[in-house]
Amino acid sequence: MLAKCLNFRNKVLESQNAIDTCIEFAMDDLGNTLDIHASARGMEAWEVSQALRKAYGLPSADIVYDYHDTLQKANKTALAELESLSARQAEILRELSTRERDFPS
């Protein structure tokens, strides 16, 4: 539990770095990058808070809205979009590579 708590800050910094890099080099991917990292860190924060409450005998949080489920759905959707985008980019690169071979050197 201690390791999860201490490592959470590192993961937040990692996410901030990924977002900064996306802003600098791939602005078109920013929305998806934000969705992936924000939902992942949100899920992690929720899981750590639940584990801490359990470890220290604190009552469960009063849940008005199922944040964890919503974050899981957002993360799954964003990761699927990233996979789809990567597949489309790979297909475009294969097509360009094939066309390049058709031209004489």
Segment 70-91, tens digit of pLDDT: 999 999 999 999 999 999 999 9
**Quick one: tokens of 99?**
């066309």
**Four-residue CA torsion sign, 70, 76, 80, 85:** positive
Q: Give the per-residue pLDDT at 87.
A: 94
pLDDT tens, position by position, 48-67: 999 999 999 999 888 899 99
**Quick one: tokens of 18?**
């990924």
Instruction: Residue 33: count other Cβ atoms within 10 Å of its Cβ.
Output: 21
**Quick one: tokens of 86?**
């990567």
- 83 to 27, 77, 102: CA distances (angstroms): 17, 10, 29
Whether pLDDT at 97 is above 70: yes
pLDDT tens, position by position, 18-53: 999 999 999 999 999 999 999 999 999 999 999 999
Which parts of the chain fold into alpha helices (H)?
Answer: 2-25, 30-55, 67-102
* Greatest Cα pair distance in the chain: 73
